[in-house]
């Protein structure tokens, strides 16, 4: 019991007594003693702080049940997974901050198998001795790109690093000034080249680079020629870039390897699915590239990985670089990648089977019909605090793919009228983020906009709308 006056703080029961309460035993069974002790300590400290700030009344009796409830709530909060599902209604299908590609069930099952059972990761089942981990996916990559050999590392940044570090350390690589890309702040081609130990030789200008610029830069210090796909921007107007085939011929003339960093790099022709063309590793190899690097979790629709395909002799040199060990992928990545690559064997089934492709090619009419279905429920949930209307929007592929070509889509815009539009849009956005499965949209022109292209689980979206808490601030 808490008494009034200065003795009140002494009336808070001891931690020991509280941990012996029957109701606390239930919490210990569920969460384990260390977490429960920590939570109980934190609750007691909060109560003492409230008493000393006089925000709690010292004359109110200590309430065991209330204390246990507070501990339970704290434990529930603190043991929620930090990495949790969200609705990606940003309009960017491959959103780096939201985990890029969604993977098919086949991949999830393959990962679960590889995680929970011993597997022949680096074990040759025929010979009974040591095997090579990349072999599990190499045959698929070779088949899908026409390369002689393939290798897998942690992401495409690692792929570019490994290629340059192996083939160009302490030597020069000429790169067009129009291709010195930055992807999402952390990946800058000049920085990666410096860390890989090779010297960037900038050639040409931002908008125009010619074959003679490459030819003029070649010296005994040159290690390779390189072309970087400008995945997340486009230079328009008076421009010139050198075609892969011409660069390949120049490289061959000087006995230099020709490297292409494709970034996204799709394994099939996207035009077959009604989408804009995206360069494929097969095209680059056919044009004469010796090594091509691309991401596993961009358009390919698989796990985070960096894929390197090309000439067997060069791939073997990459494999022998000690850095390969530091950049290698684990069994979960390989299991997911193998399952995804296998889907590409049947291009007719691919569209339905691969979530990235299914979402990107989702028919506009289907998204519009979904918006019509959701509108009444959204309006009901907002209960007049804000308006909701259907808007035409444009989805983008994201993660540095096809920056210029946007795909027509449909969304719902939530906004309030009047001068406080912009502030309200930010509050609406935060109310949707506070839902049990946070809804991530974007704020644009004074409205919170949800692009419905990637809304798969409509029922789950609707079921939680009743918990939306948005109170417009009035003045």
Ligand X SMILES: *Cc1c(COP(=O)(O)O)cnc(C)c1O
Beta carbon nearer to ligand X, 400 or 411: 400
409 binding ligand X? (CB under 6 A): no
Backbone angles phi, psi at 470, to 5 degrees: -125, 120
Q: What share of the chain is helix, strand, coil (3-state, %, to 5)?
A: 45, 15, 40
Among the candidate windows 40-48, 180-188, 308-316, 432-440, which touches ligand X by CB under 6 A? 180-188
Beta carbon nearer to ligand X, 398 or 411: 398
156 binding ligand X? (CB under 6 A): yes
Check: CB of residue 295 under 8 Å from CB of residue 139: no
Backbone angles phi, psi at 448, to 5 degrees: -95, 120
Q: What is the smallest separation between the CB atom of 288 and ligand X, expressed in angstroms? A: 19
Q: What is the smallest separation between the CB atom of 261 and ligand X, expressed in angstroms? A: 5
Please name which of 102, 88, 98 lies closest in space to residue 441, comparing C-alpha atoms: 88
Q: What is the smallest separation between the CB atom of 230 and ligand X, expressed in angstroms? A: 7
Distance CA 382, CA 386 (A): 6
Distance CA 292, CA 100 (A): 21
Q: Show the site string, 106-145: x = touches ligand X by CB under 6 A, - = not.
A: ----------------------------------------
Please name which of 383, 452, 468 lies closest in space to residue 413, comparing C-alpha atoms: 452
Beta carbon nearer to ligand X, 298 or 453: 298
Backbone angles phi, psi at 399, to 5 degrees: 50, 35
Q: Show the site string, 382-401: x = touches ligand X by CB under 6 A, - = not.
A: -----------------xx-
Whole-angstrom Cα Rg for the chain:
28
Please name which of 399, 305, 302 lies closest in space to residue 98, comparing C-alpha atoms: 399
For residue 39 the two structure tokens come to 């939570």
DSSP-assigned letters across all residues of 275-312: S-----HHHHHHTT-SEEEEESSSTT-SSS-EEEEE-H
DSSP 473: -
183 binding ligand X? (CB under 6 A): yes
Distance CA 309, CA 141 (A): 7
Report the site for ligand X in 264-293 (rule: CB under 6 A).
Answer: 264
Distance CA 202, CA 190 (A): 9
Check: CB of residue 194 under 8 Å from CB of residue 166: no
By CB under 6 A, name the one of 187, 387, 391, 405 that touches ligand X: 187
Beta carbon nearer to ligand X, 204 or 263: 263
Residues belonging to the chain: 475
Q: Show the site string, 227-266: x = touches ligand X by CB under 6 A, - = not.
A: -xx-x-----------------------------x-xx--
- Give the residue ranges of DSSP H helices in 79-121: 105-116
Number of residues that bind ligand X (CB under 6 A): 17
Report the site for ligand X in 288-327 (rule: CB under 6 A).
Answer: 295, 306
Beta carbon nearer to ligand X, 142 or 183: 183
179 binding ligand X? (CB under 6 A): no
Q: What is the smallest separation between the CB atom of 213 and ligand X, expressed in angstroms? A: 20
155 binding ligand X? (CB under 6 A): yes
Q: Looking only at Cα atoms, what is the longest distance across the chain?
A: 93
Q: What is the smallest separation between the CB atom of 289 and ligand X, expressed in angstroms? A: 14
Beta carbon nearer to ligand X, 181 or 454: 181
Among the candidate windows 8-16, 152-160, 330-338, 427-435, which touches ligand X by CB under 6 A? 152-160
Beta carbon nearer to ligand X, 176 or 370: 176
157 binding ligand X? (CB under 6 A): yes
181 binding ligand X? (CB under 6 A): yes
415 binding ligand X? (CB under 6 A): no
Contacting positions for ligand X (CB under 6 A): 155-157, 160, 181, 183, 187, 228-229, 231, 261, 263-264, 295, 306, 399-400
């Amino acid at each position: 019991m808490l008494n009034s006056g200065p003795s009140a703080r002494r009336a808070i029961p001891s931690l020991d007594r509280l941990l012996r309460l029957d109701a606390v035993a239930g919490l210990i069974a569920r969460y384990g003693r260390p977490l429960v002790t920590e939570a109980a300590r934190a609750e007691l400290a909060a109560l003492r702080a409230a008493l000393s700030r006089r925000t709690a009344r010292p004359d109110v009796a200590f309430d065991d049940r209330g204390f246990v409830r507070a501990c339970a709530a704290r434990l529930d909060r603190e043991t929620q997974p930090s990495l949790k599902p969200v609705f990606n209604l940003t309009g960017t299908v491959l959103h780096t901050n939201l985990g890029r590609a969604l993977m098919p069930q086949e991949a999830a099952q393959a990962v679960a198998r590889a995680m929970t059972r011993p597997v022949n990761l680096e074990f040759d089942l025929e010979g009974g001795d040591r095997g090579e981990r990349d072999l599990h996916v190499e045959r698929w990559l070779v088949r899908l790109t026409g390369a002689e050999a393939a290798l897998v590392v942690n992401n495409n940044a690692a792929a570019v690093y490994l290629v340059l570090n192996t083939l160009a350390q302490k030597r020069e690589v000429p790169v067009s000034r129009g291709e010195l890309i930055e992807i999402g702040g952390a990946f800058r081609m000049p920085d990666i080249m410096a860390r890989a130990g090779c010297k960037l030789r900038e050639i040409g200008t931002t908008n125009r680079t010619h074959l003679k610029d490459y030819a003029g830069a070649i010296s005994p210090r040159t290690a390779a020629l390189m072309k970087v796909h400008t995945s997340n921007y486009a230079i328009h107007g008076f421009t010139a870039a050198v075609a892969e085939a011409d660069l390949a011929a120049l490289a061959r003339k000087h006995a230099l390897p020709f490297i292409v960093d494709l970034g996204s790099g799709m394994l099939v022709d996207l035009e077959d699915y009604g989408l804009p063309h995206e360069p494929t590793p097969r095209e680059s190899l056919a044009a004469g590239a010796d090594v091509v690097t691309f991401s596993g979790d961009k358009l390919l629709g698989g796990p985070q990985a960096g894929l390197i395909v090309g000439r067997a002799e060069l791939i073997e040199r990459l494999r022998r670089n000690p850095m390969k060990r530091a950049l290698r992928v684990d069994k979960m990545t390989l299991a997911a990648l193998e399952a995804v690559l296998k889907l590409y064997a049947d291009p007719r089934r691919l569209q339905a089977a691969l979530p990235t492709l299914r979402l990107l090619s989702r028919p506009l009419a289907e998204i519009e019909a979904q918006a019509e279905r959701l509108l009444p429920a959204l309006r009901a949930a907002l209960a007049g605090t804000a308006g909701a209307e259907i808007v035409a929007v444009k989805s983008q592929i994201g993660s540095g793919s096809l920056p210029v070509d946007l795909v027509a889509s449909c969304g719902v815009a939530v906004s309030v009228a009047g001068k406080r539009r912009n502030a309200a849009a930010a509050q609406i956005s935060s109310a949707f983020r506070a839902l049990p499965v946070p809804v991530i949209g974007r704020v644009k022109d004074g409205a919170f906009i949800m692009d419905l292209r990637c809304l798969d689980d409509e029922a789950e979206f609707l079921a939680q709308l009743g918990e939306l808490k948005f109170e417009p601030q009035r003045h």
